[in-house]
Amino acid sequence: MKDLKELLRPNIAALSPYTSARDEYKGKEARVFLDANENPYNQPLNRYPDPEQHELKLELQKIKGVAPESIFFGNGSDECIDLMFRVFCRPGIDNAVAIEPTYGMYGVTAAINDVEYRRVLLDDNFQPNADKLLAAIDSNTKLVFFCSPNNPSGNDIDHSVIDRVLESFDGIVVIDEAYIDFTSLPSYTKKLDRYPGLVVLQTFSKAWGMAGIRLGLAFANPAIIAVMNQVRYPYNVNVLTQRKALEEVRQSERVAKWVCEIIKERGRIMPIVAQLPCCQRVYKSDANFFLARFDDARAMYDHLSENGIIVRNRSKITLCGNTLRITVGTRQENDELIECMQKFK
Ligand SMILES: *Cc1c(COP(=O)(O)O)cnc(C)c1O
C-alpha cells in the first residue's frame, strides 16, 4: 500500500478533529457527570453514548478475532461506505473501481461525493476478471470495491481474483462481506495483517437479524480506523443500538441457528424454483437470497405482489435482465412463495 498520508484526501490528512466531552474523560472512578450539558433526569438515555463503543468492541473481538483498534462501527455499513469516499477520494479528481453488477450504494455514494465510479463487468457466472479490474485502475484510483458474496447475484466472488488485486493495487481494497455468515468461504478479516490497505465491511442487518438498529462494521488496520473515527459524527452509534448489539453479541448462538436454518431452506427451495416451467435459471447462491431468471420476470413479480408476496425485480440491473432476487424467509413464508409461484400460468 502507498503511504497512508498519500492516499488520504489532503483536507482529511490535515484535519484536527473535534473532541467531545466523553472523549476527554478517560475512565477513572467518575460519579458526577457535569461535563456535557446533559439533563440529569431520564436515566440512562440522558447520557451521550460511549463514542468509542468500547464494550461492544471487546465483546466482538471474542467472536471475530479482530482487535478493538481494528474495528469501526457505523450507522449501518452504508456509513462505512460513505466514509471510504469522504476519507480517501478528492471530488472531481479521484476514482473508485468496482465489480458490476453489485450493491448499488457504492455507485450512489460515489455520485453523492462527486467521485468517478468505474464499473468492471462480471462474466456470465458473475465472476470478475483480474486483468480487466487492474486495467481499470489508474494513478487516481483510491478504492476498489468487491462484494462477496455479491449482491444481487448471490455468489462468492473468486478469492484468487480478490487476492490478485490485493497483491497488485497500492490503494484501498474494500470487501463488503454483508452476507459472510451464509457462505462456507473464510472472511477476509483473516488477512488484515497481511494487507494494510484492506477494509472489510460487515453488518448486523442480515445474519444478525437487526437491520432495524442500524449497525455496520468496518475492519481495517488501526491507522485507517483512526482516520475513520476522526471523520464520522462523534456519537454515530446511539445508546439503544449499542446496548441491544451488546446483548445479542453475548448470545450469538442464536445467529448460528438462524443461519443454519436459512441455508437449509435455501437448499430446499432453489431447486423447486429452478424446475418451474417459467424459470430459465437459478444462480448459485452463497447468501440468504438467490437470483432467478424467468421468461418474464415482470409478470412473475406482478403475480407474486398481487398475492401479497414481495420480491425484488432486478431486471434493470446490468447482466440481470428478467431476474428476480428472492430472499430466503421462514419455512412457512417459503412455502407460500413456492405455492404462489406454482400457480403462475
Ligand atoms: C444489505 C447490505 C448491506 C447492509 O447495509 P446496512 O447499512 O449495514 O444495513 C451492505 N452491503 C451489502 C452488499 C448489502 O446487501
Q: Give residue-wise pLDDT tens across range 164-199.
A: 999 999 999 999 999 999 999 999 999 999 999 999
Residue ID of nearest Cα to ligand 1 atom 12: 178
Q: What is the CA(267)–ligand 1 centre distance, in A?
A: 23
- The 323-327 sheet, strands edge to edge: 279-282, 289-294, 323-327, 312-313
Atom of ligand 1 at shortest range from CA of 206: 1
Residue ID of nearest Cα to ligand 1 atom 5: 77
**pLDDT of residue 236 exceeding 80:** yes
Residue ID of nearest Cα to ligand 1 atom 2: 178
- The predicted pLDDT at position 345 comes to 85
Residue ID of nearest Cα to ligand 1 atom 14: 178
Atom of ligand 1 at shortest range from CA of 78: 7
- The predicted pLDDT at position 19 comes to 81
User: To test ligand 1's pocket by mutation, which of 80, 81, 206 has the most ligand atoms within 8 angstroms of CB?
Assistant: 206
Q: What is the CA(116)–ligand 1 centre distance, in A?
A: 21
Q: From CA 188, how far away is CA 146, in angstroms rounded?
A: 11
Concatenating the DSSP letter of every residue in 36-89 gives: S---SSSTTTTSPP-TT-HHHHHHHHHHH---GGGEEEESSHHHHHHHHHHHH-
Q: What's the alpha-carbon Rg for the chain, to the nearest Å?
A: 22
Atom of ligand 1 at shortest range from CA of 203: 8
- The predicted pLDDT at position 23 comes to 73
Atom of ligand 1 at shortest range from CA of 103: 13
Looking at residues 228-252, what average pLDDT do you find? 96
Atom of ligand 1 at shortest range from CA of 211: 9
User: To test ligand 1's pocket by mutation, which of 79, 82, 83, 103 has the most ligand atoms within 8 angstroms of CB?
Assistant: 103
User: To test ligand 1's pocket by mutation, which of 77, 183, 326 has the most ligand atoms within 8 angstroms of CB?
Assistant: 77
The proportion of the chain whose per-residue pLDDT surpasses 70, expressed as a percent, equals: 99
Looking at residues 274-301, what average pLDDT do you find? 98
Residue ID of nearest Cα to ligand 1 atom 11: 178
Total residues belonging to the chain: 345
Residue ID of nearest Cα to ligand 1 atom 4: 77
Q: What is the CA(30)–ligand 1 centre distance, in A?
A: 38
Task: Return the C-alpha cell found at 166.
Answer: 490485493
Looking at residues 22-40, what average pLDDT do you find? 84
The alpha carbon torsion through 157, 162, 165, 170 (nearest 10 deg) reads 120
Res. 26 pLDDT band, cuts 50 70 90? low
Q: What is the CA(176)–ligand 1 centre distance, in A?
A: 8
Q: What is the CA(77)–ligand 1 centre distance, in A?
A: 6
Residue ID of nearest Cα to ligand 1 atom 3: 178
User: To test ligand 1's pocket by mutation, which of 151, 214, 217 has the most ligand atoms within 8 angstroms of CB?
Assistant: 151
Tell me if 147 sits within 8 A of 107, measured CB to CB.
no
Q: From CA 52, how far away is CA 50, in angstroms rounded?
A: 5
Res. 22 pLDDT band, cuts 50 70 90? confident
The reply to whether omega before 152 is within 30° of 0 (cis) is yes
For 7-16, 21-30, 189-198, 229-238, which range has the lowest pLDDT when averaged over its residues?
21-30
**Which three-class secondary structure state does DSSP give residue 16?**
coil
Tell me if 135 sits within 8 A of 121, measured CB to CB.
no
Q: From CA 148, how far away is CA 160, in angstroms rounded?
A: 12
Q: Which helix or strand (DSSP H or E) is residue 118 part of?
A: strand 116-121
The alpha carbon torsion through 295, 301, 303, 305 (nearest 10 deg) reads 170
**pLDDT of residue 120 exceeding 90:** yes
Does the pTM surpass 0.85? The reply is: yes
Cell 482529511 appears where?
Answer: 12
Q: What is the CA(146)–ligand 1 centre distance, in A?
A: 13
Pocket of ligand 1 (CB under 6 A): 76-78, 103, 147, 151, 176, 178, 203, 205-206, 211, 216
pLDDT tens across 306-333, in order? 999 999 999 999 999 999 999 999 999 9
